[in-house]
Chain A
Amino acid sequence: METIAVYWESRIKTYGFQRITDLALIEFSCPLSEIKLLGEILSQGDLKILRPKFIIAQESDHEISFIFCLPLEEGENFHASLEKTPSLTNHRYIYPVSIIFFYGPHFGDRYGIATATFSTLSKAGIKIIASGCSSASVFLVLAQDDIDKAEEVLAETFEVAK
């Protein structure tokens, strides 16, 4: 059942950096007891056609908080829809934000990828608005103005496979 993978790279290899710009970030929360209602809202009506570029959800204190990153126009409509839903609490609507994301071989199975990412951005003074790492991917939501600098410093830490 076990396979030992050895990666010995002077720079961690990635398949390349991709970015998505001109997004809106919407943060809202819902009591855990209302999660079924939220699911119904998302799966029915107009919202089901939304094309979110990134979603994370964190649970705490009997609530679940969601971050949605959507194209600006969709973000506006989504935000307006949420405001009409009494059981949801709107916390934040930020725009424009951008996403930079990257993948690499067995990123989900290897230690050190998160450190390389977060330490690089921290040393460069780049603030992360939100992040999600799952499977073999790293997604970073940043202020739009930070995206060039972020790619520049990440490209010094990670090696883009040719």
Chain B
Amino acid sequence: MKKLKIGGLKQSLELCQFDLRGPDSSEEIASKVSTLLLYQKINMEFLTYYPNRNSYHQLTFCISQDKFFTTSEILKKECSLPIGWEINSRGHVSIITIFPHQSAIKILGVIMVSWAAQSIPIYGIATSLSAISFVTDYHLIDKATEVIQDLFQLPEDHAPIKPEIRYYQSDIVKGD
């Protein structure tokens, strides 16, 4: 059978995930938590926020694995989160981003089916205009990638799937 073409595929570095859940609050949790992390210069590489769920609100985000301890400490501090909010965290996750040319919903469905068959979990999804990002276990990232490569046709001149450069923002500004 002819494989569906996709525009690209890439993996992230090793990340960790935090799920914050709690009742409705007068405080804007996304604003509050992102500001707490900004003070420590921690980048949120992936974020989903849905404050309207029936029984609770949820903010999920992924950051670099090496910031796991610092972030846990920040969030556990008294007054970091509104009353009733709970923190669940998961270390050693990664993001696979796929760039579908078209048929995004079909590609999403096919990946869900194929990963489920291989016991590859999905901890989060977010789309942008041209991409679908999946959060899964870091130790399964290569297996998850192989499943996608078996299912879809990548361009011949495809860029490397694994990240070759780690970017991070410095706070040192020359000439300032």
| Interface residues of A, Cβ cutoff 8 Å to B | 1-8, 27, 32, 35-36, 38-44, 47-52, 54-60, 64-67, 91-92, 101, 103, 106, 108-112, 114-115, 117-119, 121-122, 127-135, 137, 139
Chain B, residues 8-45, CB within 8 Å of chain A (1/0): the string is: 00000000000101000000101100110110011111
What is the minimal beta-carbon distance from A67 to any residue of chain B, in angstroms? Answer: 6
CB-based nearest A residue for B45 = A108
Query: What count of chain B residues pass the 8 Å CB interface test?
Result: 65
Cross-interface CB contact of A2 among B49, B105, B110, B168, cutoff 8 Å: B168
CB proximity of B3 to chain A, nearest CB, Å: 14
When distances are taken between beta carbons in the complex, the residues of chain B under 8 Å from A32 are 121
Hey, which chain B residues are within 8 Å of A134, CB to CB?
46-47, 95, 97, 126-128, 131, 133
Most A-side CB within 10 Å, residue of B21, B30, B110: B30
B117 at the interface (CB under 8 A from A): yes
Cβ–Cβ < 8 Å partners of A52 in chain B: 104-105, 127
CA distance A33 to B124 in the complex (A): 15
Q: Say if the beta carbon of B94 comes within 8 Å of chain A.
A: no
What is the CB-to-nearest-CB distance from B40 to chain A, in angstroms, rounded to a whole number? Answer: 8
B111 within 8 A of A: yes
Distance between A52 CB and nearest chain B CB, rounded to angstroms: 6
Verify if B116 is at the interface (C-beta below 8 Å from A).
Answer: yes
Tell me whether chain B's interface is mostly helix, strand or loop, or mixed. mixed
In the assembled complex, the CB of A103 is this many whole angstroms from the nearest CB of chain B, namely: 8
Indicate whether A91 sits within 8 Å of B54 (C-beta atoms), given known contacts A44-B109, A122-B28.
yes
In the bound complex, what is the Cα–Cα distance between A4 and B171 (angstroms)?
10
Which one, A39, A56, A133, contacts B110 given CB within 8 A? A39
8 A Cβ contacts from B117-134 to A? 117, 121-129, 131-133
> In the bound complex, what is the Cα–Cα distance between A91 and B105 (angstroms)?
20
Question: Is the CB–CB distance between A132 and B30 below 8 Å?
Answer: no
Residues of A within 8 A of B58 (CB): 58, 60, 65
- The smallest C-beta distance from A45 to any residue of chain B, in angstroms, reads 10
Closest chain A residue to B37 by CB distance? Answer: A111
Give A88 Cβ to nearest chain B Cβ, in Å: 13
CA separation between A42 and B100, bound complex, in Å?
15
